[in-house]
Amino acid sequence: MLRRPLALAVLALLTASPLMAAEAPDDAFASIATLQQHMDAGTLTSHALAQQFLDRIRRIDQSGPSLKAVLETNPDALQIAQKLDSQRKRTKRRGPLYGIPVLLKDNIDTGDRMLTTAGSLAMMDAPAPRDASLVERLRSHGAVILGKTNLSEWANIRSNHASSGWSGRGGQTRNPYALDRNPCGSSAGSGAAVAAGLVTVAIGTETDGSIICPAAANGIVGIKPTLGLVSRSGIVPISHSQDTAGPMARNVADAAALLSVIAGSDPRDPATVEADRHATDYSRFLNADGLRGKRIGVVRALGGAEPNADRVLDEAIALMKAQGAVIVDPVELPHLKELGDTELTVLLYDFKHDINTYLATRTGLKMKTLADLIAFNQREAEREMPWFGQELFEQAQAKGALSDEAYMSALAKSKQLSGPDGIDAALKAHHLDALLAPSWGPTFVTDPVLGDHVVSGDPTVGGASQPAAMAGYPSITVPAGFAHDLPVGIVLFGTRWSEPTLISIAYGFEQHAKAWQPPTFLDTVGGKPVPPAP
């Protein structure tokens, strides 16, 4: 378990530097609700808060522990925050994100002076011409776009041997709990930045595991929404069949507030046609008694490979029972071992089509096609491929059109087996509200030579994120405990549009588990904390 006195000592060290007078010592780790109370009371401004985070990025991310979680900060952030401060009293309908800094994964377009590169040096010629639709929503609600976070380059679709959290542009992101451990990916920087108190909330994206894994590895909350609840327009794609953006936060309430803002229909993304019928204020489902009466099925087949994860899962189950949940244990998730047969085929076909379509929107870039990206990496192999290659790029380039029978058959099979015949069948068979599994075990040591060492249960199973990712159904990971100073989470997933139920269960669990603790920036597990720069 994390040594609590050490955690408090390090937290005191991190907040002891001279800061602006308007800043409370706990603002770096404060919730959105607390920050809004401070700003409404006049003891904090959005400008001061943004400045605090920029200072922490300099002291913790760019030096000190050197997390390398943030690729660049918004040169206009302080000006935007100051403008919001001047308008605060005149703005009657202020939502929860008004004046709150947000970091974006660097595959999300911003039509400003920042770049959108997916971590690749090939994409640095010019900024995107306009905001992604979710960024437009954030700005319209008064959020301050603070910067862009590092990620597994190309959201980890370049090579099977990649080290999660590494990009040619940003280098290797480090885990704030133990710096030699991996932050998981591909939303590595978003997860590490939120955990380290470099920002209040961040946006990640997921195709399969890219929100759930880094949220769990960094000890925070991550929500992968139903496919089509959040617009993907203006986001560097892997697969229109599985991609979605989602919130990453230190608590369920903040994640729900962020999801409430970014959810909704968008004519730029046809997949969101039903979103307005389901999008809502998800804060309405923050019920401390949210576990009572809920029927939750435990998918033991998604565990069993890592004893610490299983221990934390069993502790979580005991808490859920004590709070009135009905636990069905175990529950079989049909076709679980068959999912990996079709997923990669779908992703490779989709990526070739979708990345070419996206690159056509990026005026000012030399890169126009996937073939151009492959050629760039070959020319710049010393910088772009020092650790791993691009065999997935090359396999995708060799695929045909989306009208190919191989693609259409794989897509139909993957959706049917993961959704109606998988998650939905398990829920219906036991009259369940949600399914439960370990998110991941404690995270692995970063290894750029051999790549990730992921322990995810049966080797034929893609991990706890895979069923919901392939089906396009929602999932949420919540901190549940620690193992050897490293956070361990649990994941809840359910049928399409079941975000309200999952949030209610997750919040009820969180309020009683109280598992979150601040990171201590240890140099290694059992080692010494690395202090921030002055």
Catalytic (active site) residue 241: no
Contact in structure between 521 and 10 (CB atoms under 8 Å): yes
> Residue-wise over 130-168: b if at least 16 C-beta within 10 A, else e?
bbbbbbbbbbebbbbbbbbbbbbbbbbbbbebbbbbbbb
User: Between 499-513 and 252-262, two packed helices, what is the crossing angle to 10 degrees?
Assistant: 160
DSSP label at residue 331: -
Catalytic (active site) residue 186: yes
Tokens of residue 346, six digits: 């779908």
> Which is catalytic among the residues 163, 167, 186, 414?
186
> Which is catalytic among the residues 68, 105, 294, 413?
105
For residue 330, cis peptide bond before it (omega within 30 degrees of 0): yes
233 Ramachandran zone, left/alpha/beta (phi>0; psi -120 to 50): beta
**CB burial of residue 4 (10 Å; 0-12, 13-18, 19+):** exposed
> Which is catalytic among the residues 167, 187, 190, 210?
210
Give 393-453 as a DSSP string.
HHHHHT---TT-HHHHHHHHHHHHHHIIIIIHHHHHHHT-SEEEEE---SPPBP-TTT---
Report d(CA 68, CA 169) in Å as an integer.
Answer: 11
Q: Which residue has the tokens 């139909």?
A: 412
Contact in structure between 180 and 199 (CB atoms under 8 Å): no
Tokens of residue 383, six digits: 């910088």
Give 69-102 as a DSSP string.
-EEEE-TTHHHHHHHHHHHTTT-SS--TTTT-EE
Tokens of residue 152, six digits: 């597994």
Q: Is 330 helix (H, G, I), strand (E, B) or coil?
A: coil
DSSP label at residue 15: T
Q: Which residue has the tokens 């760019």?
A: 62
Report d(CA 520, CA 528) in Å as an integer.
Answer: 9
Q: Which residue has the tokens 């059992």?
A: 526
Reference 268, options 366, 132, 95, 431; nearest CA is 132
Tokens of residue 275, six digits: 């979103």
Tokens of residue 55, six digits: 């200072």
Catalytic (active site) residue 368: no
Contacts of 428 (CB under 8 A, 6+ apart): none
- Residues recognised as catalytic: 105, 186, 210
